[in-house]
Structure 1
Amino acid sequence: MAKLAVNVDHIATLRQARGINYPEPVAAAVAAETAGADGIVVHLREDRRHIQERDVRILRQVVQSKLILEMAATTEMIGIALEVKPEIITLVPEKREELTTEGGLDLLTHHSAIEQSIATLKNAGMAVCIFIDPDLEQIKMAHKIDADMIEIHTGAFCDAKTEQEKAFEFSRIVDGAAMGHKLKLEVNAGHGLCYNTIKAFKGHAIIDEFSIGHSIVARATLTGMETAVRDMLALVKSL
């Protein structure tokens, strides 16, 4: 049965928009866990646009399920990870000008540097996930450089404008997940998934864990965090 990890970045986005001390992403994480979330995700960006270091450090003490830290493979971020030691590190590409992460890591180009980062993090006792497009060669490289898991980027599927395009992008996810499992990688998925797009995975037992944030936080503004998480969790458990 698939699991659900809840990203609370956009609770912090609301806080940072006013430069005040609420709403509190740590409180949102507690509510998500209370509702049954299997993990909490935060992305500590170089520009600190939402999640702050204090959030990560407090979450490390508070989260009871597992803490998943998304980050770029930079010297600064690896240093923070080695100090905080979340259960899982998800390595992602990052550009200051992007609104949100736009695609997976290009391992075919950057495999040497990423391999070194993976080794450093794993030697410190953390599992390492690679945020990756559903490209078979990229997935093979993730296995080759000793990642523990992959998170398939579902953005192209979620943003597809036509049914034909949507079907094509979903087939890439299915094929990518099959390759990941064949290589004995844990296969997660995330980016852009909402209460509607998640339903496409029904009957396809291909994803071990979904990482979902924006759509849950958006619904939480109207229903509350616990209800929003329970609604998504019910969909995930029904797949």
Structure 2
Amino acid sequence: MSRELRLGVNIDHVATIRNARGGEHPDPVRAAHAAQAAGADGITAHLREDRRHITDRDIDRLMVEIGLPLNLEMAATEEMLEIALRHRPHAACIVPERREERTTEGGLDADGHREALGPMIARLSGDGIRVSLFIEPTERQVAAAIELGAPVVEFHTGRYAHRDGAARTEELKRIADCAALAAKNGIEPHAGHGLTFDNVVPVAAIPQIRELNIGHFLVGEALFTGLEQSVRKMRELMDAAR
């Protein structure tokens, strides 16, 4: 099914819960199937250097067992590049990664790392993998993505999500302006990080944005309502915004 605005469900934190105790439960691949049943258009998973949540075996299984496109979030390292080239997921989203952070904190400095990112984007794209850069919504970062030839950018919405009032309105305008700039230059804009039932609609209403990637909130809400219901409600809010 083709949608104007797609929902990618990030299943990392199902694996976080599993890894807290070891074993195989809860199974992130089962979560991917539940998300698909509830209307997700894709599955996102971040294979971190320290494997704190998603593991290599999870990626192996996701590639084989799910019927949705896989968006592999990855740091710009040779190890992750080799893994992506081996699996050839639908998309690879290059994100910043620091071992000490709890979650991805801010966007990738595409402008400051052009020399390293250029060859990586070329190799991934050459193998048919759709490359996305997870960046802050600034003109400087969009300009770098244009120069690097990235087909997709995903805007980090954390600043928007964690502010209120006039500050949130200002952040929303930054996202909208950068989405328009990216689209004007042939780059498909996505967005994600910190989005919830309460704040998703204004971002979903930005006409140029084609995909939202949401995970932590949906997994947390699933504790109270179940994952399918959590995803279904997010899907409904996104559709209503369009």
Instruction: Give the match for residue 111 of structure 1.
Output: 114
Tell me the alpha carbon deviations over residues 145-189 of structure 1, each in whole angstroms, 9 at most, x when there is no partner.
Answer: 1111000000000011x3011111111101110111111111100
- SS of residue matched to 2:235: helix
Aligned twin of 1:69: 72
2:176 aligned residue (174, 192, 202): 174
With the length of structure 2 as denominator, give the TM-score of the two structures.
0.96
Q: AA paired with 1:121?
A: L
SS at match of 1:65: coil
Q: Which amino acid aligns with 1:77?
A: M
Deviation readout 1:19-71 (Å, 9 max, x if unpaired): 22110000000010111100000000001000000001100012212000000
Distance 1:204 1:146 in 2: 23
Whole-Å separation in 2 of the counterparts to 1:8 and 1:201: 21
Corresponding residue number in structure 2 for 1:231: 233
The answer on whether the counterparts of 1:15 and 1:21 sit within 8 Å (CA) in structure 2 is: yes
Q: CA deviation at 1:202?
A: 5.7
> Measured at CA, do residues 202 and 72 of structure 1 come closer, stay the same or move farther in structure 2, by a change above 3 Å?
closer
Match of 2:52 in 1: 49
| Aligned positions of 1:1-239 closer than 5 A | 1-160=4-163, 162-201=164-203, 203-239=205-241
Q: TM-score, normalised by structure 1?
A: 0.97
> How many residues in Structure 1 have an aligned counterpart in Structure 2?
238
Gaps of 5+ in 1: none
1:79 counterpart letter in structure 2: E
> Counterpart amino acid of 2:16?
T
Cα pair 1:3 1:237 within 8 Å, conserved: no
Tell me, in whole angstroms, the C-alpha distance in 2 between the residues paired with 1:138 and 1:205. Answer: 20
Per-residue CA deviation, residues 172-221 of structure 1 (Å, 9 max, x unaligned), is 10111011111111110000001111022364313100000011101111
Equivalent residue of 2:8, what SS? strand
Residues 89 and 127 in structure 1, CA contact (< 8 A), matched pair in contact too:
yes
What is the SS of the residue equivalent to 1:238? helix
The percent of aligned pairs where both chains have the same amino acid is: 45
